[in-house]
């Protein structure tokens, strides 16, 4: 009996092996190559890198690039952004304000349709926005609707005060016209309207859980493309939307987003010709990708700006003379240019201000920006002055980063090494295992060290790089900066109708930041990427995302 | 005996006297007391050159781990970005890493954390694993069920999850020991299983039954007859695992839940060499080479110790 | 024997409750705030936060959350991820990839590990033995990400012999390289375990008896030496199946395999208890079944081992 058992088990093992071989060869029969880009039925389809969306594809639910990349191709808002970030009217016929941005009148073009042929009216916008603004729906991009009058109030614990019955600031005039009243005047509000949270949704798609689920996984949409299939964690197929009659029609037969968890794998697929477009370069290929790809490499100014923040509640860094001296000393104690050149192989550009390079309002001549230059003597001098106020002693300067995301470790090490060596103090990196853990300490104000921070524009405006970060009550004000003078200069600037006057005002606000350094600007992240020999006309837009609809297949 | 006549069909039937154990019987001096197991093992070990080579390798790594400053006067933490990925030059025989730190000094100073993590984790895992595995294998029945199912649960807990939770508890006092505790927690189950299987096998041997018949009790039976015979697979597994533990430490550091970033270790340097693999593979070579040499020492040592413990393997 | 197997299966029940609760508690104890992480750098409006917390019962104490989860399990509802997908669906997507990958890796490491181990063990100290010693040292000292990267770059990108990443149909060709990379370290363990056991048994009395009885060399090796050497080896392989299924994070990343390791890893960092616990539950089952099979194999390999 025992002999039999042994034989059976061996046979079972052999069977499993045989089956796995057979299973493989049978599936292999059809298409022999994994190379999607070279398969014959995919002529004219562009294969592009993406990451699996973290949420369903309801516009106000999405707050990350994986879903955002798809939304931006399948939807179109009242306005849209050109490649260079200029705002253009899209669904809207006109967007006007009569009172410096407190109330807005929007008229939309007639005859616009969704991909299923149903008509697009102003109700499509109003319903979608009201849904996103209702906190009970848990829309992750819901904060964009806070600008509109009637955003629900909450008590200290976050519970709703009363019932939420739609934003009172939205008033439908006709099928093609509505008015928006804002909570606070914002002459730049029209610029925000191209952001994905403000996209319209077809009638009925929000009425029930099932309808919502269907819209979220098989969206009915109004952009240049529509979603054909979504194979989770593998790929999303987009095909041109026949109902689309806007200004940026698809120049190819479709875009298939291939899902990756590791951009290094995607890079190797690009080199092997299995992938057409990659809008990211893995850390291990930073030094070689320009040579590997030649003129198919992309390396230009980007929309991501990086910094680190020293909270005002840390000892020695309070909102006083000592804190200011120490922030300035630290900012001058490391060499941004050298770190960009060696650690990032020239794929980042040293910051000259608080705004990303491609955003209107970015400037390299802000008053006082020499504080961003490497100047070890000056740094030592300022540090000594601060020590005269209150001695630093044997304390350690720590800079926190989250280890779960791409390669922060290297630059953090380089920055603290230089700070420590210049100021002759002990300086160390502080690793957090999870991003959520770091955010927890940052939002609760319980950091015990400086922390890395970064910001990417949602819409192309300098205000977007300052308001949400340094206004006293802003959600992302990690340093707990509170400067009424700065705030009034910033709001004054935003209320300017004239573009030049507005920029000048923003520059003044930046000059205040340059002296206080509530965040210490590091560098801008270049838009990096590459494309295969099978495609042409790959242009990267202001958001550092390729304009997929313009790509042509060779 | 030089011209032994062998007839067809008989070549397997008779062995040369030197190939049998009979010679050994004659050679045993009967005027001395019988040697103890360990004493006998030591006598065996001394005669093997591999023992001395591996002992030298292990001693050398331990020496470097204890007194790194005897081997270099360069500060392993001093970084000069302008030297980033620099090639060897006088005073810096291995060149520089990405941050512009001296690779030779880092390889020397990295020994302490890595050897300590590897050896301590191995010792703790082997101790727990052997105790659990031998009780489960020797007692069988409910003791086996209980211990084996606990082992199953430990196997299935995701390492990263448990590591984050445990390291969080020690957030303020992370040291080599906390890393050792975390890795040991996941090291012992495999050893327990291997030990259990080896004990189950060994307790069936005739000499164990004989010892039991002669009135030898459970524990002494276990220690004197079963464990030495079950030791071979445990030793082999543990010496290979030693290397894996050192690499695991790197994974923990990479995830931000390992040693504090100021502690130099081979594992951390191996994992940071990842991003320069395309342009400067030599950065990986030195810490990985040091790790391989240390593991080689332990594997060879394990091999000869196992031989010495096994009377049948002696020639 | 039947009673023994029955009893082993009954033990599933306490192990299931123990393991799921333990893991649920660990996810609960994770230091980060999963909802805050959903908001990214910007953070979420407080009311949105609260609504999401309520939806996932995150405002409840640990034991209540766990009971909600258990209640779901008994109706085959394993909960939903933060992206709103049912965990069952996520499992159905990930497990086929992982199962195939792990089985291929197990076959690779067992076949080559045992074969190399036998040859090395029979000729201890020989050229082959020394060569495989160096090979196993290499596999131990060089981390998986390096081995994977090199194979992918040389065989996939430069030579084009095998696909760079896996394809949707999970073809044998595209899974071959990942399976070898995944099984590499275990291959070293199996090789060394087999080698030592074979070397030990090659000098045993029964081998001399078998040789004396006139059995041919291959018969002696397979019927006697190998059979008696396999117990520690299959113990290792049995536990390794589960480890390869749950711990293939790096290999999955390199070859872009949407499998269990990567999914669980992401869920851990997002604090998604339902996903982590459900996946782990399956892995516990895998461990329990493989350890049962391994125990039955002991009895088959060594008839003196009996279970009652």
Q: Strands A396-402, A450-456: parallel, antiparallel or unpaired by DSSP? A: parallel
Report chain A residues whose CB lies below 8 A from the CB of B279.
287-288
User: Which subunits count as partners of chain A given 3+ CB pairs below 8 Å?
Assistant: B, C
Gap from B72 CA to chain C (nearest CA, Å): 24
pLDDT, tens digit (0-9, with 9 covering 90-100), for B271-307: 888 888 878 888 888 988 888 888 888 888 888 887 7
Q: Give the DSSP H or E segment for A19.
A: helix A2-28
Of A473 and B197, which is predicted with more confidence? B197
Report chain B residues whose CB lies below 8 A from the CB of A421.
78-79
Question: φ and ψ at A115, to 5 degrees?
Answer: -65, -20
Residues B104/B286, Cβ–Cβ less than 8 Å: yes
Q: Which of B81, B261, B278 sits opposite A284 (nearest CB)?
A: B278
Rounded distance between C-alpha atoms, residue B187 and residue B179, angstroms:
12
User: Chain C residue with minimal CA distance to A478?
Assistant: C41
* Per-residue pLDDT band at C49 (split at 50, 70, 90): confident
Is the Cβ of C192 closer than 8 Å to some Cβ of chain A?
Answer: no
Using CB atoms and an 8 Å cut-off, which of residues 196-225 of chain A contact chain C? 213, 216
Residues A261/A54, Cβ–Cβ less than 8 Å: no
Measured CA distances, B204 to A149, B210, C232, C273, C306 (Å): 82, 10, 15, 45, 10
- State whether residue A240 is helix, strand or coil: strand
Q: Do C42 and A475 touch (CB under 8 A)?
A: yes
Of A7 and A331, which is predicted with more confidence? A331
Rounded distance between C-alpha atoms, residue C177 and residue C67, angstroms:
42
Of B19 and A172, which is predicted with more confidence? A172
Rounded distance between C-alpha atoms, residue B51 and residue B56, angstroms:
8
What pLDDT was estimated at residue A22?
A: 39
Rounded distance between C-alpha atoms, residue C53 and residue B44, angstroms:
67
Question: φ and ψ at C9, to 5 degrees?
Answer: -70, -35
Question: CA quadruple B65, B69, B71, B74: dihedral positive or negative?
Answer: positive
Q: pTM for the complete prediction?
A: 0.84
Of C72 and A246, which is predicted with more confidence? A246
pLDDT, tens digit (0-9, with 9 covering 90-100), for B43-53: 878 888 888 99
Q: Average pLDDT of A116-135?
A: 93
What pLDDT was estimated at residue A324?
A: 93
| pLDDT above 70 (res B11) | no
* Per-residue pLDDT band at B35 (split at 50, 70, 90): low
Gap from C246 CA to chain A (nearest CA, Å): 17
Tell me what percent of the residues of chain C surpass a pLDDT of 90: 22
Vertex A114: Cα angle to A109 and A115 (nearest 5): 140
| pLDDT above 80 (res C96) | yes
* Domain residue ranges of chain B, discontinuous segments joined by +: 34-314
pLDDT, tens digit (0-9, with 9 covering 90-100), for A74-112: 999 999 998 888 889 999 999 999 888 899 999 999 999
- Mean pLDDT check: name the lowest of A212-226, B13-27, C153-167: B13-27
The alpha-carbon radius of gyration of chain C (Å, integer) is 24
Report chain A residues whose CB lies below 8 A from the CB of B277.
284
Beta partners for A350?
A: A523
What pLDDT was estimated at residue A12?
A: 45
For testing contact with chain C, the best of B11, B115, B155 (most C CBs within 10 A): B155
Helix axes C273-301, C12-29, angle to 10 degrees: 140
What pLDDT was estimated at residue B26?
A: 57
A–C: how many Cβ contacts below 8 A?
212
Question: φ and ψ at A95, to 5 degrees?
Answer: -130, 115
Question: Both ends of chain A: CA-CA distance in Å?
Answer: 67
Rounded distance between C-alpha atoms, residue C199 and residue C117, angstroms:
9
What pLDDT was estimated at residue B31?
A: 62
Q: Average pLDDT of A264-288?
A: 90
- State whether residue A255 is helix, strand or coil: strand
What pLDDT was estimated at residue A11?
A: 44
Task: Write out the E strands in A78-185.
Answer: 79-81, 87-89, 92-97, 103-108, 170-174, 177-181
Gap from C140 CA to chain B (nearest CA, Å): 6
Take residue A329 and report the two structure tokens written for it. Answer: 């000393």
Tell me what percent of the residues of chain B surpass a pLDDT of 90: 18
Q: Do B262 and A402 touch (CB under 8 A)?
A: no
Of C253 and C41, which is predicted with more confidence? C253
Average pLDDT across chain B, whole number: 81
Q: Do B278 and A402 touch (CB under 8 A)?
A: no
| pLDDT above 60 (res A23) | no
Q: Do A454 and C41 touch (CB under 8 A)?
A: yes
| pLDDT above 70 (res B314) | no
What pLDDT was estimated at residue A388?
A: 93
* Per-residue pLDDT band at A10 (split at 50, 70, 90): very low
Q: Which of C142, C231, C304 sits opposite B288 (nearest CB)?
A: C142
Beta partners for A535?
A: A553
**Interacting residues of B54 by C-beta distance below 8 A, sequence separation 6+:** B296, B297, B298, B300, B301, B304
Gap from B288 CA to chain A (nearest CA, Å): 18
**Interacting residues of C203 by C-beta distance below 8 A, sequence separation 6+:** B312, B313
- State whether residue A301 is helix, strand or coil: strand
What pLDDT was estimated at residue C209?
A: 84
User: Chain A residue with minimal CA distance to C265?
Assistant: A404
User: Chain C residue with minimal CA distance to A455?
Assistant: C41
Q: Do A403 and B274 touch (CB under 8 A)?
A: no
| pLDDT above 60 (res A229) | yes
Rounded distance between C-alpha atoms, residue A156 and residue A461, angstroms:
31
Rounded distance between C-alpha atoms, residue A220 and residue A75, angstroms:
9
What pLDDT was estimated at residue B152?
A: 87
| Residue whose structure tokens are 């917390």 | C53
Q: Do A431 and B256 touch (CB under 8 A)?
A: yes
Rounded distance between C-alpha atoms, residue B250 and residue C263, angstroms:
22
Report chain B residues whose CB lies below 8 A from the CB of C213.
12
The count of C-alpha atoms lying within 13 angstroms of the C-alpha of A476, restricted to the half-sphere facing its C-beta, is 21
* Per-residue pLDDT band at B23 (split at 50, 70, 90): low
What pLDDT was estimated at residue A39?
A: 42
Rounded distance between C-alpha atoms, residue A478 and residue B103, angstroms:
37
* Per-residue pLDDT band at B80 (split at 50, 70, 90): confident
What pLDDT was estimated at residue A5?
A: 42
Report chain A residues whose CB lies below 8 A from the CB of C270.
436
Q: Do A435 and C157 touch (CB under 8 A)?
A: no
pLDDT, tens digit (0-9, with 9 covering 90-100), for A347-376: 899 999 999 988 888 998 898 999 999 999
Residues A446/A394, Cβ–Cβ less than 8 Å: no
Take residue C229 and report the two structure tokens written for it. Answer: 């050497």
Residues C274/C73, Cβ–Cβ less than 8 Å: no
Using CB atoms and an 8 Å cut-off, which of residues 131-150 of chain A contact chain C? 135-140, 142-143, 146
| pLDDT above 80 (res B2) | no
| pLDDT above 90 (res A532) | yes
* Per-residue pLDDT band at A3 (split at 50, 70, 90): very low
Task: Write out the E strands in A222-318.
Answer: 225-231, 235-240, 254-259, 277-278, 297-309
Q: Which of A6, A30, A269 sits opposite C164 (nearest CB)?
A: A269
Average pLDDT across chain A, whole number: 87
Is the Cβ of C80 closer than 8 Å to some Cβ of chain B?
Answer: no
Q: Strands A79-81, A87-89: parallel, antiparallel or unpaired by DSSP? A: antiparallel
| pLDDT above 90 (res C107) | yes
CATH number of the domain located at residue range(s) C88-301 in this protein: 1.10.3720.10
What pLDDT was estimated at residue B216?
A: 66
* Per-residue pLDDT band at A27 (split at 50, 70, 90): very low
User: Chain C residue with minimal CA distance to B250?
Assistant: C143
Gap from C241 CA to chain B (nearest CA, Å): 11
User: Which subunits count as partners of chain C given 3+ CB pairs below 8 Å?
Assistant: A, B
Residues B208/C304, Cβ–Cβ less than 8 Å: no
| Residue whose structure tokens are 């975390």 | B182
User: Chain C residue with minimal CA distance to B296?
Assistant: C137
Residues B293/B61, Cβ–Cβ less than 8 Å: yes
Report chain B residues whose CB lies below 8 A from the CB of A410.
98-99, 272, 275
What pLDDT was estimated at residue A421?
A: 92
Q: Which fold has domain B34-314?
A: MetI-like fold (1.10.3720)
pLDDT, tens digit (0-9, with 9 covering 90-100), for C220-235: 888 888 888 898 899 9
For testing contact with chain C, the best of A11, A35, A138 (most C CBs within 10 A): A138
**Interacting residues of A181 by C-beta distance below 8 A, sequence separation 6+:** A102, A103, A104, A148, A149, A168, A169, A171
Tell me what percent of the residues of chain A surpass a pLDDT of 90: 56
Rounded distance between C-alpha atoms, residue A551 and residue A396, angstroms:
51
Report chain A residues whose CB lies below 8 A from the CB of B79.
413-414, 417-418, 421
| pLDDT above 90 (res A485) | yes
* Per-residue pLDDT band at A254 (split at 50, 70, 90): very high
- State whether residue A532 is helix, strand or coil: coil
Q: Do A24 and C172 touch (CB under 8 A)?
A: yes
Of A91, A117, A94, give the one whose Cα is nearest residue A106.
Answer: A94
What pLDDT was estimated at residue A28?
A: 35
Task: Write out the E strands in A437-551.
Answer: 450-456, 520-531, 535-536
Using CB atoms and an 8 Å cut-off, which of residues 212-271 of chain C contact chain A? 252-256, 258, 262-263, 266, 269-271
User: How far is C-alpha B181 from the geometric centre of its chain's CA atoms?
Assistant: 16
- Complete DSSP assignment for chain C: -HHHHHHHHHTHHHHHHHHHHHHHHHHHH-SS-HHHHHTTTT---HHHHHHHHHHTTTTS-HHHHHHHHHHHHTTT---B-TTS-BHHHHHHHHHHHHHHHHHHHHHHHHHHHHHHHHHHHHTTTSHHHHHHHHHHHHHHHS-HHHHHHHHIIIIIIIS-SS-SS--TT--HHHHHHHHHHHHHHHHHHHHHHHHHHHHHHHTSHHHHHHHHTT--HHHIIIIIIIHHHHHHHHHHHHHHHHHHHHS-HHHHHHTT---HHHHHHHHHHHT-HHHHHHHHHHHHHHHHHHHHHHHHHHHHH-TT----
**Interacting residues of C226 by C-beta distance below 8 A, sequence separation 6+:** C114, C118, C198
| pLDDT above 80 (res A226) | yes
Residues A451/A442, Cβ–Cβ less than 8 Å: yes
Is the Cβ of C69 closer than 8 Å to some Cβ of chain B?
Answer: no
Q: Average pLDDT of C178-190?
A: 93
* Domain residue ranges of chain C, discontinuous segments joined by +: 88-301
Measured CA distances, A6 to A19, C290, C295, C302 (Å): 20, 15, 12, 10
| pLDDT above 90 (res B123) | yes
- State whether residue A377 is helix, strand or coil: helix
User: Chain B residue with minimal CA distance to A405?
Assistant: B255
Residues C120/C132, Cβ–Cβ less than 8 Å: yes
Is the Cβ of A446 closer than 8 Å to some Cβ of chain B?
Answer: no
What pLDDT was estimated at residue A399?
A: 95
DSSP state of A294: G
Q: Which of C47, C165, C297 sits opposite A9 (nearest CB)?
A: C297
What pLDDT was estimated at residue A1?
A: 38
Of A5 and A485, which is predicted with more confidence? A485
* Per-residue pLDDT band at A29 (split at 50, 70, 90): very low
Q: Average pLDDT of C197-206?
A: 83
pLDDT, tens digit (0-9, with 9 covering 90-100), for B129-170: 999 999 998 888 888 989 998 998 888 888 888 888 888 777
């Amino acid at each position: 009996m025992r002999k039999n058992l042994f034989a059976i088990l061996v046979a079972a093992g052999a069977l499993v092996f045989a089956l796995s071989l057979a299973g493989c060869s049978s599936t292999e029969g059809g298409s022999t190559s994994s190379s999607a880009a070279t398969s014959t039925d995919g002529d004219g389809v562009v294969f592009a890198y993406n990451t699996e969306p973290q949420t369903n594809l309801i516009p106000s639910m999405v707050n990350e690039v994986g879903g955002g990349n798809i939304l931006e191709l399948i939807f179109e808002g009242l306005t849209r952004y050109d490649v260079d970030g200029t705002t253009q009217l899209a669904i809207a016929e006109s967007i006007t304000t009569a009172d410096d941005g407190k109330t807005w009148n929007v008229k939309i073009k007639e005859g616009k349709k969704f991909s299923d042929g149903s008509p697009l009216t102003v109700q499509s916008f109003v319903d979608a926005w009201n849904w996103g603004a209702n906190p009970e729906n848990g829309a992750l991009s819901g904060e964009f609707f806070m600008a509109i009058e009637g955003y629900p109030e909450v008590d200290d614990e976050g519970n709703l005060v009363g019932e939420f019955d739609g934003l009172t600031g939205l008033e439908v005039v006709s099928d093609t016209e509505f008015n928006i009243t804002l909570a606070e005047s914002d002459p730049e509000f029209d610029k925000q309207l191209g952001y994905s949270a403000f996209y319209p949704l077809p009638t009925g798609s929000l009425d029930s859980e099932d309808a919502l689920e269907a819209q979220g996984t098989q969206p009915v949409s109004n952009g240049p493309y529509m979603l054909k299939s979504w194979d989770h964690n593998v790929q999303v197929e987009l095909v041109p939307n026949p109902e689309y009659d806007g200004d940026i029609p698809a120049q190819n037969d479709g875009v298939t987003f291939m899902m990756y968890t590791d951009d290094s794998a995607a890079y190797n697929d690009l080199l092997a010709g299995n992938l057409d477009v990659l809008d990211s370069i893995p850390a291990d290929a930073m030094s070689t990708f320009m040579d590997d790809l030649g003129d198919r490499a992309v390396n230009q100014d980007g929309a991501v700006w990086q910094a680190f923040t020293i909270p005002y509640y840390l000892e020695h860094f309070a909102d006083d003379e000592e804190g200011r001296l120490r922030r300035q000393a630290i900012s001058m104690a490391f060499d941004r240019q050298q770190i960009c050149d060696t650690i990032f192989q020239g794929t980042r550009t040293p910051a000259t201000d608080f705004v990303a390079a491609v955003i209107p309002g970015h400037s390299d001549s802000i008053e006082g920006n020499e504080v961003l230059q490497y100047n070890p003597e000056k740094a030592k001098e300022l540090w000594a002055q601060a020590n005269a106020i209150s001695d630093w002693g044997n304390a350690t300067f720590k800079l926190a980063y989250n280890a779960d995301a791409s390669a922060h470790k290297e630059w953090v090490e380089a920055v603290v090494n230089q700070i420590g060596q210049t100021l002759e103090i002990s300086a160390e990196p502080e690793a957090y295992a999870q991003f959520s853990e770091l955010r927890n300490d940052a939002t609760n104000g319980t950091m015990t060290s400086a922390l890395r921070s970064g910001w990417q524009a949602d819409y192309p405006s300098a205000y977007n790089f300052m308001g949400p970060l340094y206004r006293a009550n802003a959600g992302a004000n990690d340093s707990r900066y509170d400067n009424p003078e700065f705030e009034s200069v910033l709001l004054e600037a935003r209320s300017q109708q004239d573009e030049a006057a507005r920029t000048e005002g923003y520059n003044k606000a930046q000059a205040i930041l340059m002296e206080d350094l509530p965040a210490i600007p590091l560098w801008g992240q270049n838009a990096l990427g590459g494309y295969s020999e099978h495609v042409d006309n790959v242009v990267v837009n202001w958001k550092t995302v390729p304009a997929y609809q313009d790509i042509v297949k060779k | 005996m030089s011209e032994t006549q062998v007839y067809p069909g008989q070549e397997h039937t008779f062995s040369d006297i030197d190939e049998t154990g009979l010679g050994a019987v004659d050679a045993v001096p009967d005027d001395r007391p019988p040697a103890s197991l360990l004493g006998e093992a030591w006598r065996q070990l001394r005669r093997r050159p591999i023992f001395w080579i591996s002992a030298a390798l292990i001693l050398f790594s331990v020496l470097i781990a204890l007194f790194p400053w005897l081997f270099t006067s360069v500060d392993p933490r001093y970084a000069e970005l302008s030297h980033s990925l620099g090639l060897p030059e006088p005073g810096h025989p291995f060149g520089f890493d990405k941050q512009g730190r001296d690779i030779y000094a880092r390889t020397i100073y990295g020994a302490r954390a890595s050897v300590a993590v590897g050896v301590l984790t191995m010792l703790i895992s082997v101790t727990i694993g052997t105790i659990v595995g031998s009780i489960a294998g020797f007692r069988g029945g409910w003791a086996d069920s209980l211990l084996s199912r606990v082992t199953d649960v430990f196997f299935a807990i995701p390492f990263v999850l448990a590591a984050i939770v445990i390291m969080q508890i020690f957030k303020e006092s992370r040291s080599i020991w906390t890393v050792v505790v975390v890795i040991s927690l996941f090291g012992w189950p495999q050893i327990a299983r291997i030990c259990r299987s080896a004990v189950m096998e060994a307790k069936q041997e005739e000499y164990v039954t004989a010892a039991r018949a002669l009135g030898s009790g459970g524990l002494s039976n276990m220690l004197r007859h079963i464990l030495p015979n079950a030791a071979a697979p445990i030793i082999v597994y543990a010496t290979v695992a030693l290397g894996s533990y050192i690499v695991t430490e790197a994974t923990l550091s990479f995830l931000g839940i390992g040693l504090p970033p100021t502690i130099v270790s081979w594992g951390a340097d191996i994992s940071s060499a990842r991003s320069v693999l395309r342009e400067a593979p030599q950065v990986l070579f030195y810490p990985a080479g040091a790790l391989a040499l240390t593991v080689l020492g332990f594997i060879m040592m394990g091999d000869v110790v196992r031989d010495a413990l096994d009377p049948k393997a002696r020639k | 024997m039947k009673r023994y197997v029955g009893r082993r299966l009954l033990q599933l029940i306490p192990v299931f409750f123990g393991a799921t609760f333990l893991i649920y508690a660990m996810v609960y104890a994770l230091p980060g705030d999963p909802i805050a992480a959903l908001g990214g750098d910007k953070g979420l409006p407080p009311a949105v936060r609260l609504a999401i917390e309520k939806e996932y019962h995150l405002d409840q104490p640990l034991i209540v959350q766990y009971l909600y989860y258990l209640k779901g399990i008994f109706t085959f509802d394993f909960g939903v991820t933060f992206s709103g997908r049912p965990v069952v669906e996520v499992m159905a997507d990930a497990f086929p990839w992982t199962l195939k990958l792990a089985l291929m890796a197990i076959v690779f490491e067992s076949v080559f590990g045992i074969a190399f181990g036998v040859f090395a063990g029979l000729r201890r100290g020989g050229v082959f033995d020394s060569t495989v010693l160096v090979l196993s040292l290499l596999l131990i000292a060089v981390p998986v990400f390096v081995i994977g990267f090199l194979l992918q770059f040389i065989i996939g990108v430069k030579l084009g012999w095998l696909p760079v990443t896996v394809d949707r149909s999970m073809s044998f060709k595209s899974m071959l390289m990942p399976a070898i990379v995944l099984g590499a370290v275990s291959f070293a363990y199996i090789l060394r375990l087999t080698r030592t056991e074979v070397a030990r048994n090659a000098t045993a009395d029964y081998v001399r008896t078998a040789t004396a009885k006139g059995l041919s060399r291959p018969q002696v090796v397979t019927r006697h030496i190998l059979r008696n050497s396999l117990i520690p080896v299959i113990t290792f392989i049995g536990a390794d199946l589960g480890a390869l299924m749950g711990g293939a994070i790096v290999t999955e990343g390199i070859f872009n395999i949407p499998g269990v390791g990567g999914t669980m890893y992401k869920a851990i960092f997002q604090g998604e208890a339902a996903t982590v616990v459900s996946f782990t539950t399956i892995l516990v089952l895998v461990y329990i079944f493989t350890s049962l099979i391994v125990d039955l194999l002991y009895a088959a390999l060594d008839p003196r081992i009996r279970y009652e």
